[in-house]
Structure 1
Amino acid sequence: MLSRLKTTWSLRPCVSACRWAHTKEKGKPLMLNPRTNKGMAFSLPERQILGIHGLLPPKVETQDIQAMRFQNNLKNMTDPLQKYIYLMGIQERNERLFYRVLMEDIEELMPIVYTPTVGLACTHYGHIFRRPKGLFISIRDKGHIRSILDNWPETNVAAVVVTDGERILGLGDLGVYGMGIPVGKLCLYTACAGIRPERCLPVAIDVGTNNQTLLQDPLYMGLYQERDRSQAYDDLIDEFMEAVVEKYGQDTLIQFEDFGNHNAFRFLRKYREKYCTFNDDIQGTAAVALAGLLAAQRALGKPITEHRVLFLGAGEAALGIANLIVMAMMERGMTQAEARNKIWLYDKDGLLVKGRLQETDSNQEAFLHDSPGTVESFLDAVNTIKPTAIIGVSGAGRLFTHDVIKSMGTLNERPIIFALSNPTNKAECTAEDAYTLTDGRCLFASGSPFGPVTLNGRIYTPGQGNNAYIFPGVALAVILSGVRHISDKVFLEAAKTLAEQLTDKELEEGRLYPPLSNIREVSIQMAVKVVEFVYANGMAFRYPEPTDKDSFVRATVWDTHYDSFEPDTYDWPGVSFSPKTDQK
């Protein structure tokens, strides 16, 4: 066999229809490109053809063996940040292997590549930096954004995730260090929904930071200036949006992530009818929270119209959830005014009521109510309003105190307690406190993961209200159907679809969401439902409309198997060789 191969290479053959012919890179550059590198999984013919024979150890490994090596190494690590650095290293070297490892252990590794560890990684971004990912656009690049986009090597981008780093999770202003968020989000576009990684572009907009610690850190990687809040900032975002659609097409999806409250709302209003865009902190969070409430109503046998909801926090997440709850209640026959009267907001200055001394903004006005009496604390608000559900999105830590949780348990047979703030140390309470202080009666969900809780001989599995249940599936549907403008109705449909995928058995375990281990199938089914919805409601622009939408969606899903760089057979003078059967 080896002698035949030696003869073959000396023939300098001309092979037609080789699947590797499209590969521009050969030799070591091909191995340094994470999109084409297979490590030791390159076969002997591939190594010969591509000019990398001798650049690797002689053993040819399967992807299974490669995955085992990395999984074993991960198991030997205990520090989450160390795991994050290691995983990102795999992504930088071998993209398909990275997604193979991530997808096979998504329940354990999602908290590493996404919340809560991605928040820790962002705070240390300048200290753990290895290779740049994504595009960095600064206020000094104004007038040149299109030329910067031209530097990005991929030309068929379908989805962009962009942040200006002002409000990273519950950590505040991290400036250019916020790049970890778009990178993490787009990892989940691929892992959860099978969107091809080369079609995803993470972007960090650097207009400065007001974080004095970063401005004094010699390892900080962004502009050493306070945030530019002048018209130049708005002009920069305008130019960015225009450049993206000019470069990649008007149906390119642009997801806004972790902008400050004021900018998040006004950019959503400004751009939603001009571009294919959404804000995950407002709309994605809203959909996953509503899905949890819809699952809870199955457990309670009580429609959503009978709930009273009290929010801790009155920013973009709270208002996004509140508005989507109103839509869900209106779908069940309530008027908008009746639905809004079911929802109360409490922020750092107290309960939002008409005529309060502290200023409120226009986005909050719909939920200002007449004062119910003296309310001096969140506990007072709970006892006065008597909510059936409390939802924490304040990012301020453990403000669902023991007294608050006990009061919810006294007021309700099965209280709904959602502690959605990220990362874990910013959650309003722990799962253990919620279950223990309500004798296991509560319906609990959190933004970051908490482990199972054992109480009175029963194991409760808390639900994680993770936006990853929503945005990958919605993004896949939007990309495939050519949606130009994303209506809030799309997120209402996504919430209903997610709630429907929770089984009765999972609900009995205490879950309000399907297991994360099943998130790829959850995302694909959501994409199918949303594709059906947008075509039925005239929102899709890609025609002809597929008749079998399930097959249409599944046929596009990217997998982690290596591409072959070999032809099916070699048929050269005097030599006949099939690498699939002869290379033993």
Structure 2
Amino acid sequence: MSKQSSLSGYDLLRSPRLNRGTAFTESERRQYGLDGLLPPGVSSLQLQVARTHAELANLDNDLQKYLLLSDLQARNETLFYATVMSDPASFMPLVYTPTVGEACQKFDHIFRATRGMYVPISARGRVKELLSNWPEQDVRFIVVTDGERILGLGDLGVGGMGIPIGKLSLYTACAGVPPQYCMPVMLDVGTNNAKLLNDPLYLGLRQERVRGDDYYAFVGEFVAAVQERYPKCCVQWEDFANFNAVPLLAQYKDKICTYNDDIQGTAAVALAGVFAALRISGQKLTEQRFLFLGGGSAATGIAELISQAMALEGLTIDAARARNTLFDVNGLMVKSRQDLADFQKPFAVDHAPVSSFADAVSALKPTGVIGVSTVPKLFNQQVIEAMASINERPIIFPYSNPTSRSECTAEEAYRWSSGRAIFASGSPFPPVEYEGRTFVPGQGNNVYIFPAVGMAVFATEASRVTEEMFIVAAKAVAEQVTEESLATGLIYPPQSKILEASLHVATRVAECIFDQNLARVPRPDDIAAHIRACAYKPAYPA
């Protein structure tokens, strides 16, 4: 209550971190000048959560529920997290994907209370000054976007801020990272979305995107300002276009504590799905061959992490990469193509050109197909049936978000494979009834990875984030899938138990951080207990 003692009356009720609303006791109301400012009834936190559930139940669409939760987060942070953590499986799709996609698209038309830091390129030379306006002096996590490639929705400009806000909410709700250490950031360099530029309600810079040296100099100023002001901070890059995401990660990953969730988090959750799928098929990782639909940073990130994991199991890295092949809008990525970016070239194969994805499946005979194209319905009946003719248990992972961009539905994958597909998707699908069996589709959601990695980094004050940490995280996710879940086709832990799953993953990653001598705190005797002691719990102070 020491912080609260400096605030009283309406100021206290308007502080989301300190406000308790109707949970303020009678003595607290007298002490802090709240008498008369609240209805006389005193509610417990549990009763406030129940009231919020009832409010949400009366709303008839998910965007309205998103807005109610956003308003709650801006008013009473403890109640917001207590609500979300009371039923994470139900609330994650509301505070993040898929609902956040619609919220980002309509950001300028539904804007309410501000949250996070907006750093426009027009403030070049003053970035450190802007960061000094943030009220917290110790920031450990920044999720930052420039809004150019939001989910599968494209350039949403300043509206992309919904993504860092949502991601950081999940850091807390799913893994216990204390919210006061988190800061969402929008780097506004303009937008090439003409609809936004012509919208009078658009809230971002009204200019086309800045490119090239000016762009990278601006990002460099931001990174330097963060390092100076918040030396223990980890920067997570989020939803940058491929041609910026890859070089930014390459430039900073060995210099600061940083990672890109679209590249590394997506890769780790896909690898976790592969590890669990192999428990169903009974095969070895080194026996797998994957064909990716999509050739961007997500595809190459997954392909590289799978390759690194294969190398740990005995293959050379070149042999491992040869088992991970990419297919994009111009066809199979073969060595003779002249349009490949440097980050794609390690996965180019010595093969004749193939322009049809179904033909590529027949030619390469993959054990699994992984979709990160953001183009719906490309895992069509011909593709799924071809995979089922080649494999007893074909791995079908349409990972594109949101649901409208998924390469196929769960029902299509199970039906066209005669119930033999090992399926996981990027967005949620309901259970599927097929020939007397009930299949429970898994959601390859990065939420199994990034909050846990964040918690491990927070608890160890890690100086770097390495590729090995993501392989460790993937194995830690997969080892928690029960035999009962595997029997229904579910290859990820239930999201209803995401906090326990994340703390387990965080413990494994923290062990890796200590083993790599990347921690800035002493190694505790009991790492799992240390992780739990660091975790945020939504409760009003006694």
**Range into which the TM-score falls when normalised by the shorter chain:** over 0.9
Query: Which residue of structure 2 lines up, in the alignment, with residue 563 of structure 1?
Result: 541
The counterpart of 1:407, out of the listed 386, 389, 398, is: 386
Cα offset for 1:20? 4.3
The letter of the residue matching 1:279 is N
Query: Which residue of structure 2 lines up, in the alignment, with residue 364 of structure 1?
Result: 344
Check the 8 A contact 2:333/2:349 in 1, yes or no: yes
Whole-Å separation in 2 of the counterparts to 1:190 and 1:482: 17
Instruction: Report Cα offsets for 1:363-400 as digits up to 9, x if no partner.
Output: 011011111x4522111111111111000001111111
Instruction: Report Cα offsets for 1:410-463 as digits up to 9, x if no partner.
Output: 111110000000000000000010011111110000001001111112111000
The counterpart of 2:285, out of the listed 291, 296, 304, is: 304
Query: Which residue of structure 2 lines up, in the alignment, with residue 287 of structure 1?
Result: 268
Query: Which residue of structure 2 lines up, in the alignment, with residue 568 of structure 1?
Result: none
The counterpart of 2:434, out of the listed 455, 462, 465, is: 455
Query: Which residue of structure 2 lines up, in the alignment, with residue 65 of structure 1?
Result: 47
Cα offset for 1:22? 5.3
Query: Which residue of structure 1 lines up, in the alignment, with residue 61 of structure 2?
Result: 79
Check the 8 A contact 2:334/2:353 in 1, yes or no: no
Whole-Å separation in 1 of the counterparts to 2:346 and 2:12: 56
1:256 aligns with 2:237: yes
Whole-Å separation in 2 of the counterparts to 1:151 and 1:513: 41
Say if 1:218 and 1:107 are closer, same or farther in 2 by CA, change over 3 A. same
Whole-Å separation in 2 of the counterparts to 1:230 and 1:442: 44
Aligned length: 542
Q: Report SS of the residue matched to 1:363.
A: coil
- Map residues 104-119 of structure 1 onto 2, 5 A cutoff: 104-119=86-101
- Map residues 51-450 of structure 1 onto 2, 5 A cutoff: 51-249=33-231, 251-357=232-338, 359-371=339-351, 373=352, 375-450=354-429
1:502 aligns with 2:502: no
Whole-Å separation in 1 of the counterparts to 2:378 and 2:115: 36
The letter of the residue matching 1:379 is A
Structure 1 gap segments, 5+ residues each: 1-18, 565-584
Whole-Å separation in 2 of the counterparts to 1:408 and 1:217: 46
Whole-Å separation in 1 of the counterparts to 2:319 and 2:60: 50
The letter of the residue matching 2:349 is H
Larger Rg: 1
Whole-Å separation in 2 of the counterparts to 1:363 and 1:396: 21
Query: Which residue of structure 1 lines up, in the alignment, with residue 506 of structure 2?
Result: 527
CA-based RMSD of the aligned residues comes to 1.0
Say if 1:467 and 1:43 are closer, same or farther in 2 by CA, change over 3 A. same
The letter of the residue matching 2:529 is S
The letter of the residue matching 1:170 is G
Instruction: Report Cα offsets for 1:520-552 as digits up to 9, x if no partner.
Output: 01111111111111112222222x221111111
Check the 8 A contact 2:266/2:446 in 1, yes or no: yes
Whole-Å separation in 1 of the counterparts to 2:527 and 2:14: 38
Whole-Å separation in 2 of the counterparts to 1:337 and 1:214: 44
Whole-Å separation in 1 of the counterparts to 2:19 and 2:325: 53
Relative to the length of structure 2, the TM-score reads: 0.99
The letter of the residue matching 1:214 is L
Instruction: Report Cα offsets for 1:217-244 as digits up to 9, x if no partner.
Output: 1111101111000322111111101111
Q: Report SS of the residue matched to 1:326.
A: helix
Whole-Å separation in 2 of the counterparts to 1:65 and 1:199: 27
Q: Report SS of the residue matched to 1:472.
A: helix
Q: Report SS of the residue matched to 2:39.
A: coil
Whole-Å separation in 2 of the counterparts to 1:461 and 1:47: 49
Check the 8 A contact 2:331/2:353 in 1, yes or no: no
The letter of the residue matching 2:276 is A
The counterpart of 2:451, out of the listed 449, 454, 472, is: 472
Whole-Å separation in 2 of the counterparts to 1:438 and 1:296: 16
Structure 2 gap segments, 5+ residues each: none
Whole-Å separation in 1 of the counterparts to 2:145 and 2:493: 29
Whole-Å separation in 1 of the counterparts to 2:158 and 2:109: 13
Whole-Å separation in 2 of the counterparts to 1:211 and 1:487: 35
Relative to the length of structure 1, the TM-score reads: 0.92
The letter of the residue matching 1:222 is G
State percent identity of aligned pairs.
Answer: 50
Whole-Å separation in 2 of the counterparts to 1:537 and 1:324: 18
Say if 1:81 and 1:22 are closer, same or farther in 2 by CA, change over 3 A. closer
Q: Report SS of the residue matched to 2:315.
A: coil
Q: Report SS of the residue matched to 2:534.
A: coil
